[in-house]
Amino acid sequence: MKELINKTKKLPIRESETVRRQIDDRTVNLFPEMSENPWLTKSIRRSAATSKPGKCGLTTLELCAGAGGQALGYEQAGFEHIGLVELDKHACATLRLNRPQWVKNRIVFEEDLNKFDGSPFKGADIISGGLPCPPFSVAGKQLGSLDERNLFPAMIRLVDQIRPKAVMIENVRGFAEAVFVDYRHSIKEQLKKLGYVTGWKLMNASDFGVPQLRPRVVFVGLRSEYAGHFYWPEKSLTSPETVGAKLFDLMAANGWSGASAWREQADEIAPTVVGGSHKHGGPDLGPTRSRRAWASLAVDGIGIANEAPAPDFLGMPKLTVRMVARIQGFPDEWQFSGGKTAAYRQVGNAFPPPFARAVAEQLRTCLSKSRLVRVAG
C-alpha cells in the first residue's frame, strides 16, 4: 500500500480550496443583474426546535424525490411531507422502505410528473424537488428546454395549480451557464405572473459539511408577501471531513491491513459523485477525469465494490454503495432498494441531505417570520 501511495500523483483538480474559491467567484460574477438573485446570505441560529423533525407545522410536496436526499433534509428541518412524486420504481421502493408512515399515508406516488395532478395538494406550504439534470448538464448535450426530460414546465404547472408559499428546486451547475439565461428568464417571468419573486444561487455541498466537491444551483421562488424575509444559507464555519476520515471505519470493516495507510492518502474531500442517467451510466464513480481525481485519493473509480476490502487486499480499493452514500451525506441507517446499479444511481443523483437542510431551514425561518408578522399586524 505504501508503494501505491508514493506512486499516486496528486492532481491539480483536487486542490479543493482553490476550486472552491473559483466556484465562489463564479457565484459572485454569475448573475450581473440583481434580478436573478435578489437575496443576501445570512446565518440562522439553530434552536432545539429546529433540530427536531416534525415541529414547525409547515408542509412540502416533493417532486422527483429520488432516493430521498432532499426529503431527509426537509424532514430534519422540521417539515412534514404530504406527497413525494417519483417515476423510478427503485427510488419509490427506497422511500417506502425507509419511511413506513409514508406507505401508511399513501403519499409516495410512482408517477410521471407531466401527468401528476396537484389539485389534492392545494394548501401545501412548499413545492420542493430536484428536477432531472441531463437537460442542463455539461456532461450531456445541454438541450435544455428541447430535452424531453426537462420538467420545469411541469413544475410551473403544479405551482399554478397548488399556489404554495414557496418553491425550491435544485439542479446542476450547468443550469446557471449563459447558454440558459433566456430560459431562466422565461421561468422567472412565468412565475412572476403567478405572484412569485425568484432567485438562483450556485452553492457547494462542501460548504454545508458534505465531504464532496458538489456544486449545485438552487432555485427559490417565494410569493411576494414572503420574499422580504428570505436569506440564502451561510457556509458552515467548519471544514468537511476528508474522504479518509469519513470512510475509515467502513473501509476497515473487514480487517483490511492497509486501511490506516489508505486513510492518510485519502486526505481531501471527494470529487463530484456522478450517478449517471437511465440512458447512460452504470455503477462507476464517473468519467475518466473523475476517475483520475479518485485515484489521487487511492480509490479505484471503475466500478463499485460489494463489500469492504479483505484483510490481505492489495491495490486501490473501490467504494461500496454505503461508502458513497456516506460521502453524499446520507445517514448509515438509510437503505437503498434495488440491485447495485440501481442503488448506486439513486445515491449518485441525490441532493445531499445536509445541503437540503441548510436551505430548508432558511425557508422555515422565512415563512415562520412571515406568520409572526401577520399575527403581530
Spatial CB neighbours of 241, under 8 Å, sequence gap ≥ 6: 211, 269
Q: Known catalytic residue: 92?
A: no
Count helices and strands (H / E) in the chain.
Answer: 14, 9
Alpha-carbon gap, residue 354 to 235, rounded angstroms: 12
C-alpha cell at 139: 456532461
- 3-state SS, residue 305: strand
E strands in 173-270: 196-204, 215-223, 232-233
**What letters, b where the CB count within 10 A reaches 16 and e where it falls short, cover 319-354?**
bbbbbbbbbbbbeeebebbbebbbbbbbbbbbbbbb
Alpha-carbon gap, residue 183 to 39, rounded angstroms: 20
- 3-state SS, residue 109: strand
Instruction: Spell out the long-range contacts of 335-340 with Cβ–Cβ below 8 A and sequence spacing 24 or more.
Output: 335/94, 335/97, 335/98, 336/67, 336/94, 337/90, 337/91, 337/93, 337/94, 337/97, 338/90, 338/93, 338/94, 340/283, 340/304, 340/306
E strands in 54-176: 59-63, 80-85, 108-109, 126-130, 166-172
Residue of 56, 64, 92, 133 marked active site: 133
Question: Are residues 216 and 349 in contact, defined by beta-carbon separation less than 8 angstroms?
Answer: no
**HSE of 270 in the Cβ direction (CA atoms, 13 Å)?**
30
Closest among 246, 277, 204 to 26, alpha carbons compared: 204
Closest among 237, 174, 218 to 39, alpha carbons compared: 218
Active site residues: 133
